[in-house]
């Protein structure tokens, strides 16, 4: 704006009369008028940009209270504090990954959209997220990424897909009662500590299932547990060793206690499974026709496997990629529309000529569209780099408390140390100056490119 | 499992919306009051405080009672969450309120150090000496001068449980920490996790730690640690962390295990115990759990939601961690006389009774008749608070610099969350706490 004003102002003054000093006077007056026009803008720029920048630079040399001059200590602290280093690392990831992905996605979508019939509707749809505030988008994604599949839609999808292939275990919360003859193996299965042999009846006590979650067909185990085994059969009961309201004897089948139906039981001999069966509704099972000898009974881990609870999107490792994903959702439309506009100004003849010469679509895209679009792509890319540097709201909202430090970028870290509890505005200013220094190259590049194109 | 998605999603949304809405605050319309025939008629006392909603309404009842008594009119000015900033700017702008209800002991000290406060009158001091345990006066004083009158208190040593779940498991409210863990294991045998821990909100973890520490190490060590006179690497801290770790590392005791706990916020932890789909039997937090259980999940307090005091740890006394809102008089207020009279009134059991009847209030005033409280559970909480006398201690993290004890994602909050994720090395955790504390207490 300002440059335009400066340039235009002299030319808009009426042409001066012939005499030389008159022309000079007119030119001086012209300059004065120009200055007058520029003054409001300059004042605003000075008050809102130049002064705060200088103030921050000055403030960054003072300590938290702002009274003691500490020289470069704050800048040294930036590279000493692990939390700030992590923020710098994350900012680098953001700057490297997000603009590249966005420009690439935007380019691909823009080229493809040209070829579909409902191009405008599609563009509109892609552009819609731009109209959503970052705060609202952040809240939506915070919920979508939630780790609990009952809340987060992404994990709900992941879990349902997984469960289609794997199937959920019948008793995920159930475990053996400690010290009652069952031993837990590494893989989560249980086996009897003592060897058993045909002719015996064994009781396998489990706990950890609320009475209301018992399967509908579960029946009391007392009768089955009392039944004697024949000489060549191995009998037993898998039961819930817990009497509602307490009481009952641990490790023994009490009258009120229920069997656990549908539990897989295996008879193992010398490390090999020789027979397998499922428990009946009263929790009873029996193996017949076993060779005499001693066996171990095993409850395979599949009975107890904890439900698959999806991906921890907002865990320390995935949180930054997850937030970048939310950022892509918002900005892809912007990149696509801008690149699309550039695409529509491409000289059709070049494309036609290439087609005539027998180039395929990929070759056209690679050798003609992309090189011709390069200026637009650079504008989009550099704009995004600048935008990504100052990303704040999404990171602040989406990252839950425990992983906030793992997700922080320079902008959030700057705010946190200055106002979010740290109240060290000296260090905060130093971070602000660092951020400024990082943005400056992109700015210079953009301004120079802008000049050249004029 | 699947059926629950809709309701939890809904309540998750509500929680977020509430959290965002909480920053907005209502306008402060002057509330005129009639019937002024006494000495102070014609004066208007303005009172600033964080309260909004029903708390503001109930406090207004107290102010109205004061108006009736003295004739002075009152005006409540809601400050939103950040009292110190709002009051600071009002003082600079020449529009200082007469009285401020300060929600944290740290803010009270900050005000006193800036010289904003007027020492309270002899009458107030006398009522406090006779009606309050001396610890309340201590927390209201800075460098020996009495500035703050604790009008409303919080009780942060209450473990809330679902009586149905404990009955189902056949266990009684425990007396000691070890019993509590033992009872928790029986509960988990019954098929319900024992505790819902809100690991996503760091402040609930600091409260857990403070209760264990206060009971195990005793009030003197607690005070020393709160002032950072002893280091966090002290053996007592490591011991308390080890004790707390016994609970944190036991997958049977935590709803959802450590991972589930870290993904649960405070409202979520109450929901896990008192919501439609119970996942745990007990949740530890302050007296305000009752409010959430009642308002959001329709539980009848005393019948299907009850509490037991946080049990004693390792042979110590049962801890009572507390906090409260202190009334202070600003030097720059325009009606110092009426303001002093208001504080004298607030120090009386009469004023406390007004809000106690309305509910959602605990008074540290010994002289308040327990019959004034509306329900048995509140009465029991209040009695436990008063009975604790001088062994009451304020929330340690509230007394620490915000960078250490009060900021999401850093300091004590973050380090205790990491401890919940991996409780295997209390010494390393203590060392990290000390490093963070040393940095925050420095100035």
Chain B residues touching residue A402 (CB < 8 angstroms) = 199-200, 202, 262, 409, 414, 417-418, 421
The minimal CB distance from B191 to the residues A63, A83, A210 is found for A210
Residue with tokens 């991906």: A311
Q: Give residues 47 to 76 of A whose Cβ lies within 8 Å of B.
A: 63-65
CATH class for the region spanning B39-155+321-394 = alpha beta
Q: Which of B189, B411, B441 to mutate to test the interface with A (most CBs of A within 10 A)?
A: B189
Q: Could you tell me which chain A residue has the CA closest to the CA of B251? A: A173
What does the alpha-carbon distance between residue A27 and residue A15 come to, in Å, rounded to a whole number?
10
Kindly determine whether residue A148 and residue B263, on different chains, have CB atoms separated by under 8 Å.
Answer: yes
Model ipTM value: 0.71
Domain extent listing, chain B:
39-155+321-394, 158-318+404-441
Residues 165 through 204 of chain A touching chain B, CB cutoff 8 Å = 173, 175, 177
Of A177, A403, A421, the CB nearest to B410: A421
At residue A1, does pLDDT exceed 60?
Answer: no
Q: What is the predicted pLDDT for the residue at A421? A: 64
CB A308 within 8 A of CB A163: yes
Looking at residue B19, its pLDDT comes to 43
Yes or no, beta carbons of B190 and A312 under 8 Å apart? no
| Contacts with A, B 177-206, CB within 8 Å | 186, 188-192, 199-202
**Alpha-carbon dihedral B146, B147, B152, B158, rounded to 10 degrees:** -60
Taking residues A92-100, what's their average pLDDT?
94
End-to-end CA distance of chain A: 14
- Note whether A402 contacts B199, CB cutoff 8 Å: yes
Q: What is the pLDDT of residue A41?
A: 93
CB contact under 8 A, B413 and A143: no
- Is A401 close to B201, i.e. CB distance below 8 A? yes
Per-residue confidence in pLDDT tens, chain B, 443 aa: 333 333 344 444 444 444 444 443 333 334 444 444 567 778 899 999 988 888 899 999 999 999 999 999 999 999 877 787 788 888 888 899 999 999 888 889 888 988 999 999 999 999 999 999 999 999 999 999 999 999 999 999 999 999 999 998 889 999 999 999 999 999 998 889 999 999 988 899 999 999 999 999 999 999 999 999 999 999 999 999 999 999 999 888 999 888 889 988 899 999 999 999 889 999 999 998 988 888 889 888 888 999 999 999 988 889 999 988 999 999 999 999 999 999 999 999 999 999 999 888 999 999 999 999 988 899 999 999 999 989 999 999 888 887 788 777 788 998 999 999 999 999 999 999 999 999 888 75
Nearest CA in chain B to A65: B443
For residue A134, list chain B residues with Cβ-Cβ distance below 8 A: none
Position A422 scores a pLDDT of 64
Helix (H, G, I), strand (E, B) or coil at A442: helix
Which residues numbered 7-46 in B keep a CB inside 8 Å of some CB on A? 8-9, 12-13, 16
pTM flag (> 0.90) = no
Q: What is the pLDDT of residue A246?
A: 73
The arithmetic mean of pLDDT across residues A214-243, rounded, is: 84
Helices A20-45 and A2-12: crossing angle in degrees, nearest 10, is 160
A-chain residues near B1 (CB < 8 A): 150, 307
A111 in Cβ contact with A362 (< 8 Å): no
- Per-residue pLDDT of A29-86, as tens digits, reads 989 999 999 999 999 999 999 999 999 999 999 988 778 899 889 999 898 888 889 9
Is A139 an interface residue toward B (CB < 8 Å)?
yes
Instruction: Flag if A401 and B409 touch (Cβ within 8 Å).
Output: yes
Lowest model confidence (mean pLDDT) among A100-114, A355-369, B10-24: B10-24
Q: Min CA distance, A326 vs chain B (Å)?
A: 18
Q: Which two tokens stand for residue B84?
A: 């110190």
Give the residue from A308, A402, A414, A423 with the most B CB atoms within 10 Å of its CB, the best one to mutate.
A402
Distance in angstroms (rounded) separating the CA atoms of residues B164 and B168:
6
What backbone torsions phi and psi does residue B385 show, to the nearest 5 degrees? -65, -45
Closest partner residue to B408 among A245, A401, A423, by Cβ? A401
Average pLDDT over chain A reads 86
3-state secondary structure of A338: helix
- The DSSP secondary structure of A406-438, one letter per residue, reads HH--HHHHHHHHHTSS---HHHHHHHHHHHHHH
Nearest CB among A146, A244, A401 relative to B168 is that of: A244
Give the pLDDT of residue B409.
76
| Token pair for B354 | 């007004």
Predicted pLDDT of residue A407: 92
Q: What is the CA radius of gyration of chain B?
A: 22
Residue A5: band (very low, low, confident or very high) from pLDDT cuts 50, 70, 90: very low
Which residues of A are less than 8 Å from B414 in CB distance?
Answer: 401-402, 404-405
Contact B9 A143 (CB under 8 A): yes
Q: Rounded to an integer, what distance in angstroms lies between the CA atom of residue B46 and that of residue B51?
A: 14
B408 and A CB contact within 8 Å: yes
CA angle B363, B366, B371 (to 5 degrees): 70
Report whether pLDDT(A8) > 70: no
- Per-residue pLDDT, averaged over A321-335, amounts to 94
Please indicate if any CB of chain A lies within 8 Å of the CB of B171.
yes
Average pLDDT over residues A194-223: 85
Check residues A449 and B163 and name the one with the higher pLDDT.
Answer: B163
The percent of residues above 70 in pLDDT, for chain A, comes to 94
Q: Do the domains B39-155+321-394 and B158-318+404-441 sit in the same CATH topology, yes or no?
A: yes
Q: Select from B186, B403, B413 the Cβ nearest to the Cβ of A401.
A: B413
Flag whether residue A82 sits within 8 Å of chain B, measured between CB atoms: no
Q: Which of A147, A150, A156, A317 to mutate to test the interface with B (most CBs of B within 10 A)?
A: A150
Tell me if B93 sits within 8 A of B330, measured CB to CB: no
Question: Does position A390 have pLDDT exceeding 70, yes or no?
Answer: yes
**B197 and B255 Cβ atoms separated by less than 8 Å:** yes
What H or E segment, with its residue span, contains residue A272?
strand A272-278
- The CATH number given to B158-318+404-441 is 3.40.190.10
Is B168 in the A-facing interface, judged by CB distances under 8 Å?
yes
Is the CB of A208 less than 8 angstroms away from the CB of B188? Answer: yes
Q: Which of A5-9, A218-222, A344-348 has the lowest mean pLDDT?
A: A5-9
CA distance B114 to chain A (A): 14
CB-based contact B409 A404, cutoff 8 Å? yes
pLDDT value for A18: 55
Task: Check if B169 contacts A (Cβ < 8 Å).
Answer: yes
**Average pLDDT score over residue span A294-304:** 86
- Across chain A, how many H-helices and E-strands are there? 17, 9
């Amino acid at each position: 704006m300002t440059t335009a004003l400066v340039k235009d102002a002299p030319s808009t003054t009426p042409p001066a009369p012939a005499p030389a000093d008159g022309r000079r006077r007119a030119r001086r007056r012209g300059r004065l008028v120009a200055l007058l026009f520029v003054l409001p803008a300059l004042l605003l720029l000075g008050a809102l940009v130049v002064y705060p920048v200088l103030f921050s630079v000055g403030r960054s040399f003072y300590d938290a209270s702002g009274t003691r001059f500490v020289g470069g200590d704050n800048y040294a602290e930036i590279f000493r504090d692990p939390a700030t280093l992590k923020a710098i690392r994350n900012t680098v990831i953001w700057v490297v990954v997000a603009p590249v992905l966005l420009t690439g996605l935007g380019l691909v979508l823009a080229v493809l959209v040209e070829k579909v019939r409902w191009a405008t509707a599609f563009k509109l749809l892609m552009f819609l997220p731009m109209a959503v505030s970052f705060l609202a988008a952040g809240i939506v994604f915070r919920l979508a990424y939630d780790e609990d599949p009952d809340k987060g839609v992404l994990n709900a999808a992941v879990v349902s897909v997984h469960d289609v292939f794997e199937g959920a275990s019948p008793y995920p919360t159930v475990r053996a009662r400690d010290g009652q003859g069952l031993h837990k193996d590494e893989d989560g299965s249980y086996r009897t500590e003592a060897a058993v042999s045909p002719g015996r009846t064994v009781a396998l006590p489990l706990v950890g299932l609320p009475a209301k979650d018992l399967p509908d067909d579960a029946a009391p185990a007392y009768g089955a547990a009392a039944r004697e085994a024949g000489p060549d059969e191995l009998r037993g009961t898998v039961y819930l060793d817990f009497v509602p309201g307490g009481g009952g004897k641990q490790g023994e089948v009490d009258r009120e206690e229920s069997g656990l139906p549908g539990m897989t039981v295996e008879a193992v001999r010398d490390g090999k499974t020789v027979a397998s069966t499922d428990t009946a509704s009263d929790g009873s099972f029996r193996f017949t026709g076993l060779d005499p000898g001693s066996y171990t009974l095993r409850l395979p881990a599949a009975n107890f496997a904890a439900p698959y609870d999806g991906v921890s999107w907002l865990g320390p490792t995935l949180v930054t990629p997850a937030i970048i994903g939310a950022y892509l959702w918002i900005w892809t439309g912007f990149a696509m529309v801008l690149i699309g506009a550039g695409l529509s100004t491409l000289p059709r003849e070049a494309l036609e000529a290439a087609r005539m010469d027998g180039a395929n679509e990929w070759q056209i895209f690679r050798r003609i569209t992309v090189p011709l679009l390069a200026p637009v792509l650079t504008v989009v890319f550099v704009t995004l780099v600048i935008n990504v540097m100052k990303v704040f709201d999404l990171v602040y909202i989406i990252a839950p408390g425990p992983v906030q430090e793992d997700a922080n970028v320079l902008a959030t870290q700057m705010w946190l140390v200055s106002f979010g509890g740290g109240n060290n505005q000296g260090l905060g200013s130093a971070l602000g100056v660092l951020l400024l220094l990082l943005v400056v190259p992109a700015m210079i590049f953009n301004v120079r490119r802008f000049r050249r194109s004029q | 499992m699947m059926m629950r998605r809709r309701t939890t999603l809904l309540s998750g949304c509500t929680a977020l919306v509430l959290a965002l809405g909480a920053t907005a605050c209502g306008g402060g319309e002057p509330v005129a009051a009639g019937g002024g025939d006494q000495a102070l008629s014609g004066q208007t006392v303005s009172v600033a405080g964080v309260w909004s909603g029903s708390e503001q309404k109930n406090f207004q009842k107290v102010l109205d009672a004061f108006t009736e008594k003295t004739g002075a009119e009152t005006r409540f000015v809601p400050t939103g969450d950040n009292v110190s900033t709002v009051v600071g700017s009002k003082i600079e702008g020449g529009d200082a309120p007469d009285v401020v209800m300060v929600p944290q002991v740290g803010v009270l000290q900050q005000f006193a150090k800036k010289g904003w406060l007027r020492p309270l009158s002899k009458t107030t001091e006398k009522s406090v000496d006779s009606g309050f345990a001396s610890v309340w006066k201590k927390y209201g004083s800075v460098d020996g001068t009495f500035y703050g009158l604790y009008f409303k208190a919080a009780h942060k040593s209450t473990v809330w449980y679902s009586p149905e779940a404990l009955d189902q498991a056949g266990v009684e409210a425990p007396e000691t920490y070890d019993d509590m863990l033992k009872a928790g294991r029986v509960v988990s045998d019954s098929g319900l996790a024992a505790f819902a821990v809100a690991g996503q909100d760091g402040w609930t973890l600091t409260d857990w730690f403070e209760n264990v520490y206060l009971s195990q190490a005793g009030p003197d060590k607690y005070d020393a640690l709160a002032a950072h006179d002893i280091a966090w690497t002290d053996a007592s801290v490591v011991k308390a962390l080890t004790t707390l770790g016994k609970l944190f590392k036991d997958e049977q005791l935590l709803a959802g295990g450590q991972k589930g706990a870290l993904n649960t916020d405070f409202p979520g932890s109450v929901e896990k115990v008192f919501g439609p789909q119970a996942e745990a039997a007990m949740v530890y937090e302050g007296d305000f759990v009752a409010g959430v259980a009642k308002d959001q999940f329709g539980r009848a307090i005393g019948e299907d939601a009850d509490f037991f005091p946080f049990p004693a740890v390792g042979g110590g006394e049962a801890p009572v961690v507390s906090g409260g809102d202190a009334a202070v008089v600003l030097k720059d207020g325009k009606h110092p006389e009426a303001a002093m009279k208001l504080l004298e009134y607030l120090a009386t059991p009469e004023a406390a009774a007004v809000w106690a009847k309305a509910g959602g209030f605990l008074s540290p005033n010994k002289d308040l008749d327990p019959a004034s409280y509306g329900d048995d559970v509140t009465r029991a909480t209040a009695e436990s608070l008063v009975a604790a006398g001088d062994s009451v201690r304020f929330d340690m993290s509230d007394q620490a610099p915000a960078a250490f004890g009060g900021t999401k994602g850093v300091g004590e909050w973050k380090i205790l969350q990491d401890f919940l994720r991996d409780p295997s090395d209390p010494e390393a955790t203590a060392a990290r706490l000390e490093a963070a504390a040393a940095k925050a207490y420095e100035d």
